[in-house]
Amino acid sequence: MKDPVELLSEYIAFASVSTDPTAREGMRGAIEFAADQLKELGFSVQEVPTPLHPILLAERRTSPEDPHILIYGHYDVQPSEPDGLWTTPPYQAEVRNNRIYGRGSADNKGPQIVHMAALAKALQENPNLALNITWFIEGEEEIGSPSFRGFLENYKDRLAEADFVLLSDTGSPSPDQLVVTTALRGLVSMEVKLTGPKMDLHSGIHGGAVRNPIQALSTLLATLHNEDGSVNIPGFYDGVSLPESWERDELAHHPSSPEEYAKFLDVDEFFTAPGYSALEAVRFGPTLEINGIGGGFQGEGQKTVIPSQAFAKLTCRLVAGQDSERVEKLLVNALRDRCPSGVRISIDTHGGGNPYWIVPPNRTNTPADQSPAIQKGFSVLEDAITESFGKRPLYLREGGSVPIIADLKDIVGLDTIMVGLFTPECNLHAPDESFHLDILHNGIDAFAKIFANLARK
């Protein structure tokens, strides 16, 4: 294969924005680029059509008796706008200060190049590597993977032949301290809309006669939290899995201090639910957030109206022990029950997904029936990462949501080992996204060892 920086630069050049219908050329270029790299590595490759963007499915088969892993990635990226805030053009890769800049460099094209280049290195050292690999790269991750469950349903028998899934679409705190992610939060998403009069009204002529939907919405939203920041919905916390002592110990080794975290966010103080520090709250605790709110006149200056409608966008992040359908029902019922009189409420739910949780071997809460393949996978990863990066990985829950991981467990029955290859400074989804070159090169070295050692029975 070519030099990995050169490969990543070529991959970045494709503006593969899945949400943009005008980006078809970039989407097509990205999937063909990924297919070409896997063909060069000896994979048989097919494109699986979906209602939106195809999924690349590639296989390297050795013997049925050899270990078998699945590797996941996504070739789509977030929109680059506002382009004026980029130092260099978003789809023209540039290396500076030991980082390669460009949209998709860290999310998720850089990690894919790490995996591909690592496999090339492992195969160069051992062309007869006794390791079955199924590789799938989707094109809809940045829009919620709407076609992914259908793909899993159609191919579950073929995918279930593997031992586990390997994924690098999660984060780590620094280039020399990787994290193996042990949990992802689930997601509930919805929009609530309150409607009052049939049209916007003159606030001088009609003010005081009807309930203002913005005021009603503000009253409603204020009921969703207690003064201490906890969620005020009976039953919301039922089943929540509290962190084990070993998890708190792992977090204590996180290189970021609360003071550094506050400085990074530019906030004067944290506001967390009882029982959680700031660093714990974003990994271990469930949340209910108001992500957007609107209604009435939004332009410059004044327009004295009582708006006809007001809306808010809400999400819940869920932890192990919570069920997304149950929490969605609890929230919908609470909103309907608490809606002030004088307005009509409508709620549009957007789905989401359940939380995912996996426990490394030899922990107090490791399942007794954990598969030997998963235990070997964790052991191989820890040894390789420690050797290549100079520090053992931390095992931490992550606050984000990747619903496809729970889908893989639910439909195919496979667990996923997640190795974070981007850092907070990588600016995911923002201008000047970048990927650290130390992670690129050390990651290639580590994953080459991982592939080689997984192949050893």
* Beta bridge partner(s), residue 195: 309, 344
pTM: 0.88
One domain, residues 61 and 167: yes
Q: What are phi and psi of 22, to 5 degrees?
A: -90, 0
Tokens in use for 330?
Answer: 């609890």
Do 31 and 140 fall within a single domain? yes
- Asked whether residue 175 falls in the same domain as residue 200, the answer is no
User: Quick one: 417 and 323 in the same domain?
Assistant: no
User: Of 320, 337, 353, which closes a domain?
Assistant: 353
Same structural domain, 174 and 222: no
Q: Among 76-90, 358-372, 419-433, whose mean pLDDT is lowest?
A: 358-372
For residue 383 the two structure tokens come to 């040894």
- The two tokens of residue 271 are 């506001």
| Euclidean distance between CA atoms 202 and 186, whole angstroms | 43
- Domain membership flag for residue 250: no
The helix (run of H) or strand (run of E) holding residue 202 is strand 201-202
Among 353, 369, 404, the domain boundary falls at 353
Report yes or no on 257 lying in a domain. Answer: no
Q: Are residues 161 and 191 in the same domain?
A: no
Q: Which of 408, 422, 424, 417 is nearest to 382 (CA)?
A: 417
CB 70 within 8 A of CB 164: yes
Q: Of 353, 386, 406, which residue is a domain's last?
A: 353
Radius of gyration of the chain (CA): 24
Q: Is residue 247 part of a domain?
A: no
Q: Which domain holds residue 198?
A: 186-240+286-353
Indicate if 212 and 168 belong to the same structural domain: no
260 within a domain of the structure (yes/no): no
Residue with tokens 């995912």: 356
Is 60 within 8 Å of 41 (Cβ atoms)?
yes
C-beta of residue 314 within 8 angstroms of C-beta of residue 191? yes
Q: Identify whether 438 is part of a domain.
A: yes
**Co-location of 219 and 307 in the same domain:** yes
User: Is the pLDDT at 241 greater than 90, yes or no?
Assistant: no
Would 274 be classed as within a structural domain? Answer: no
Paired tokens of 149 = 């469950």
Residue 137's DSSP bridge partners are 56, 73
pLDDT per position as a tens digit, 416-437: 999 999 999 999 999 999 999 9
Report yes or no: 317 and 186 within 8 Å, Cβ to Cβ.
Answer: yes
Q: How confident is the model at residue 457 (pLDDT cuts 50, 70, 90)?
A: low
92 located within any domain: yes
**105-164 confidence digits (pLDDT tens):** 999 999 999 999 999 999 999 999 999 999 999 999 999 899 999 999 999 999 999 999
Q: How far apart are CA 438 and CA 448, in angstroms?
A: 15
Note whether 155 and 77 are same-domain residues.
yes
CATH number at residue 330: 3.30.70.360
- Own/partner contacts of 371-376, CB < 8 Å, gap of 24 or more, are 371/163, 371/164, 371/415, 373/67, 373/163, 373/164, 374/163, 374/164, 374/415, 374/417, 376/454
Q: Please indicate, yes or no, if residue 91 is contained in any of the structural domains.
A: yes
- Let me know whether 331 and 386 are in one domain: no
- pLDDT band at 400; cut points 50, 70, 90: confident
Note whether 59 and 100 are same-domain residues: yes
224 and 321, same domain (yes or no): yes
